[in-house]
Amino acid sequence: MLFLDGSPHYWFGDIPTTLILCTDDATGKPLYGIFQTQEDLDGCFIVCSHIFKKYGLPGCFYLDKASQFTTTRYGGIHYTVHTTHKLTNFERAMQELRVGLIFADSPQARGRVERINGSFQDRLVAELRVNGINSFEAANRYLNKIFIPRYCKRFGLQPREKENAWRKLPAQVDLRNILCRKYQRTVNNDNSVSVDGQIIQLLPTPDHLHLVRAKVNINRWSDGSWHVFYKNEKEVPCKLFEAPPKQMIAGSDIFTWY
């Protein structure tokens, strides 16, 4: 069982940042983390990708109910949905990888990871300051190359069960197309699709001059790149365009909607 959590704090400099950290419950060892401006889905996927490639697939994650993990709000009423539950991209990705999810009802229920966050805030902040580290790139490098290995060596425990519970990641699995945001769209008459304001122009291939009115699957990888797939075929080449602002004339004034 792994913990995955974001800890907002003044880690370096005067601007608050968030440490997204994954910790092994059996040993108490942090496995990998990154600093970001805030905790989001892409950051969680980046951490998961590093963990899965290095160690394999865990049995489950123990998580809070942050919006990138699960949906608890429908129709303006806040409640947990047990039956008609629309999967988030994180839930869908873990379902594809057969990794279980357990959601805590309160921070107190996740006391161990909260204590690790507190320990990092005491020790890591001081070390970053002493070493003059004030950028995301330098802080991420120091965290994973120096601080975490040293922390694990000093505070890590041996698991009660010696049997390895990690599952080997299948060689054919492309994590980039699982740990990502997925969409489905119908291709427009100009052979393009639009997702979250991003216009994606599909390019002709030897098999398809166009895919007008066809349904395509669109994956937005954690690095921000877009990838389009038609049925079970190879990736469709595409070109990105910025969506033009929508304009509405009202009397003598022009209002621009972005």
Tokens of 1: 């069982």
Domain boundaries, the chain: 2-155, 180-247
Nearest of 210, 212, 237, 215 to residue 226 by alpha carbon: 237
The length of the chain in residues reads 258
pLDDT at 257 (0 to 100): 35
Distance CA 99, CA 59 (A): 6
Q: Please write the tens of the pLDDT for every residue from 68-97.
A: 999 865 544 444 445 566 899 999 999 999
Three-state secondary-structure class, residue 108 = helix
Mean pLDDT of the chain: 87
In 3D space, the residue among 208, 206, 209, 214 whose CA is nearest the CA of residue 185 turns out to be: 214
Closest by Cα among 98, 84, 89 to 196: 89
Q: What is the pLDDT of residue 13?
A: 82
| pLDDT, tens only, 179-204 | 999 999 999 999 999 998 899 999 99
Confidence (pTM): 0.84
Tens digits of per-residue pLDDT, 15-24?
Answer: 899 999 999 9
- Residue 72, pLDDT score: 67
CATH number assigned to the domain with residue range 2-155, chosen from the 4 options 2.40.50.140, 1.25.40.10, 3.30.420.10, 3.10.20.30:
3.30.420.10
Residue with tokens 């160690």: 55
- Taking a C-beta distance cutoff of 8 angstroms, is the pair 204, 195 a contact? no
pLDDT for res 250: 43
> Block means of pLDDT (10 residues each) for the chain, length 258 residues?
93 91 92 95 97 96 90 54 74 96 75 81 93 95 97 87 87 95 96 94 93 96 96 92 56 36
Element housing 69 (H / E): none
Burial of 211 (0-12, 13-18, 19+ CB in 10 A): buried
Whether 70 and 91 have beta carbons less than 8 Å apart is answered as yes
